[in-house]
Amino acid sequence: MQADTSLAFQDLQPDEILGAVESLGQRSDGRLLALNSYENRVYRIGMEDAPPLVAKFYRPARWSDAAILEEHAFATDLAADEIPVVPPLSVGDATLHHRGPYRFAIYPCHGGHPPPLDDSSLLRQLGRLVARIHQRGSTEDFAQRPALTIAEFGVASRDFLIKENFVPVDLHAAYESVCTDLFAAMERCYERAGDPPEIRLHGDFHPGNVLVLEDRVHIVDLDDARMGPRVQDLWMLLSGDREEQTPQLGKLLDGYLEFADFNPRELHLIEALRTLRIMHYAAWLARRWTDPAFQTAFPWFDSHRYWDEHVLSLREQLALMNEPPLEWQR
């Protein structure tokens, strides 16, 4: 049954997409544009007498219905707090809908471009928004969504890649050795950070999930929302080398402190979290490799060169985790 559902998802057709949206009483004008998403299938749908909508079709088996609804409730609460998060639309008192083998939600459509990370005032604004998300996120825990942990993002990623033979045999020893060293270094990072408390996070707060249009900002895609340390929603907004990241961090935290406190010890986690993201990304591509969309979009993934470079990048991360964290003064 799961295989049939996955195949249907991979071969989702325009008439099925439009039919699902119209089953909610929406009148489409037939225009459909696929948006940049691989984990789920996301489309901009033109409406006859209304602004366009965005329809998200969820990948089978990734999240339970309860976990999706928990994300929807979090986004709705944030929007109710006047934080510019884009929540799903409720139709018939429901935000998650089913049609045939598909689960989907619809959202208002907001245009925009990723934020320019050299804009100091915008970085400060983003810091304020992240702090407000965290203020709401710290009021209770997720019950259905997991935490960002070394075990799930690191150990499970390594084990899957080895078990499923994605890592070339001649690199097994080097890969497993560097992973062992990485996990020990991550543990030391968490110790230096004081094992900070976990709160509900956006979880994937990179520039692509922030839309800027003139003076308006919208935050989208809470699909990766989970429990974790506060710094997880900050470090992906940093770019460049250490000298460039330091003032960016200062502006972000200037804004953040207007609404919430921040423990600077969490800065010890930045390179550990970056390493976990690198490892999880490789395992994510491997887990989705049977989806033809992934083989088309990432043709370089299943090559020896990719794994050579992957092991090298992990070794570089090992060195970075042993360096002092970014400097920040209140």
pLDDT in tens, 176-203: 999 999 999 999 999 999 989 999 999 9
Given a cut of 80, whether residue 330 has pLDDT beyond it is no
Q: Is the pLDDT of residue 2 over 60?
A: no
Give catalytic status of residue 204 as yes or no. Answer: yes
What pLDDT does residue 3 have? 55
Residue 7: predicted pLDDT: 78
For the cut 70, the answer to whether the pLDDT of residue 44 exceeds it is yes
Q: What is the dotted CATH code of the domain comprising 2-108?
A: 3.30.200.20
pLDDT tops 50 at residue 1? no
CA-closest candidate to residue 236, choices 283, 193, 278, 204: 204
The residue annotated as part of the active site, out of 15, 49, 141, 204, is 204
Closest to 154 (Cα-Cα) out of 235, 50, 36, 274: 274
CATH topology of domain 120-321: Transferase(Phosphotransferase); domain 1 (1.10.510)
Q: Which of 49, 81, 93, 221 is catalytic?
A: 221
Q: Where exactly are the structural domains of the chain? A: 2-108, 120-321
